Chain A
Amino acid sequence: MEFILSLLSGFFLLFGSFLCLSGGVGILRFPDFYTRMHAAGVTDTLAAAMILIGLMLQNPETLVIIKLMFILLMTLFISPAASHALGQAAVLNNLPPLVDLNIKDLDNSTASGDKPSKS
């Protein structure tokens, strides 16, 4: 039982580290802002979640598992919101994507629009 738990935890930790690495490579190599943002979002949410689950399976005391569960919950809430904020800011400031997708809010007629979207 211990062996299976440590095997699972090792698998999750390795997968999370691989996602972190691939996210880093993606941020550097992807051609467009939106695709790079996707790479960053994967690192933020999925890699962090995998690493946290791997840590939870290391079989520590109950209090540590509960704290890790809270951190996982917070990450699942906050990181996608952060990625959404990035994408929203790019669309509202008329950053054109590489492929023309006819996005609703994106105003493609102005060349370099900089709407004062201060909230």
Chain B
Amino acid sequence: MVGIALAVNQIKDMFAVVMLAGIYGLVSASFFVAMDAVDVAFTEASVGAGISTLLMLTTVAMTGRTEHEASHKPLLALFVVTVTGGLLIYGTFDMPYFGSADAPVHNHVAPRYIYDSIKEIGVPNMVTSVLASYRGFDTFGEVTVIFTAGIGVLALLSVVRLPKTDAAVEAINNSMHEKHLVLRVVIKTMIPFILLYAFYVQFHGDYGPGGGFQAGVIFAAAIIMYALLFGLSAARRVITQPVVQLLSAIGVLVYGSVGIVSMLNGGSFLDYSVLSADPIAGQHLGILLIELGVGLTVASVMIIIFFSFSARSEYQQAKKGESL
């Protein structure tokens, strides 16, 4: 993996760099599988090797294939980074060794999660119980970060669509039906199954690897595939921009509301035990609702980011076609 990272740094051809980044994502995912962390491997494979590669390819299609030569040697920056990194590494010398048996995290936190998770939460998948219940506040922060990324992309990349360029692009898409017939037929058969699989992963997160993040990415991947093959305008008719923006906000809202309802019921923020008469049922209900919020936000934000990027790219191409 270090070799791939060094190669990404040195190679100037952006297309090769994007492919190498995808390979890095896949190698990380297999590394996580080798370490028995299947949930993380699942998320890394779908996000790092799937969506990231796709978004970076869209960006490369817009910007250009080779990297410009660096105009100056950043020696001062290298020096500062080395000093800071050295200080940080020196600061970790006091911590216990990685995986040593008498580290506090192995004596207090991990045994509590491993032994008490079934009694307190009742969900077979321990990763979901840690992510959604014990560390629910951190996951709330993650969902808000994803939502903020979506807002950032919208703020920077919103393009006012002229109806003339829209009609021109749609004409190109319809004329391509013959050329892309095989792919269109196969993908049309596959999309319902992919969406169904996304729902399966979403609701099965309690019992096996899965959960909201992976499910959101898989759902977005199905929509993105449709947009790639049938044209952005066709996809925008299915998933309209106001709806998807609303859905991304509703996901975060659902997550926060579960916390507020817990407070109204007498517990602390995001304490699911007070959500119903039986604490275990309350935990299940809380986890279900917040995973739903996470899935909604992740799927909508991924779709927003892809639509913004490729709308920009189409706009650039349409303008180039007009000015020729």
Contact = CB atoms under 8 A, between A and B. Distances in A.
A119 B314 contact: no
B315 to A, nearest CB: 12
Interface residues of A, number: 13
Contacts of B173: 119
Contacts of A74: 190, 193
Contacts of A92: 179
Nearest to B182: A84
Nearest to A118: B317
B222 to A, nearest CB: 12
A78 B186 contact: yes
Interface size class for chain B?
Answer: 20 to 34
B15 interface: no
A62 to B, nearest CB: 17
Contacts, number: 36
Contact of B231 (A84, A88, A116, A119): A119
A58 to B, nearest CB: 19
A52 to B, nearest CB: 17
A117 interface: yes
Contact of A118 (B172, B182, B186, B193): B172
Interface string B143-172: 000000000000000000000000000001
A5 interface: no
Given A81-B182, A84-B182, A85-B183, A119 B176 contact: yes
Given A77-B189, A119-B228, A119-B231, A88 B176 contact: no
B230 A119 contact: yes
A77 B314 contact: no
A116 B321 CA distance: 10
A70 to B, nearest CB: 9
Interface of A: 74, 77-78, 81, 84-85, 88, 92, 105, 116-119
17 contacts: A74-B193, A77-B186, A77-B189, A78-B186, A81-B186, A84-B183, A85-B183, A88-B179, A88-B180, A88-B182, A88-B183, A105-B179, A118-B317, A119-B180, A119-B228, A119-B229, A119-B230
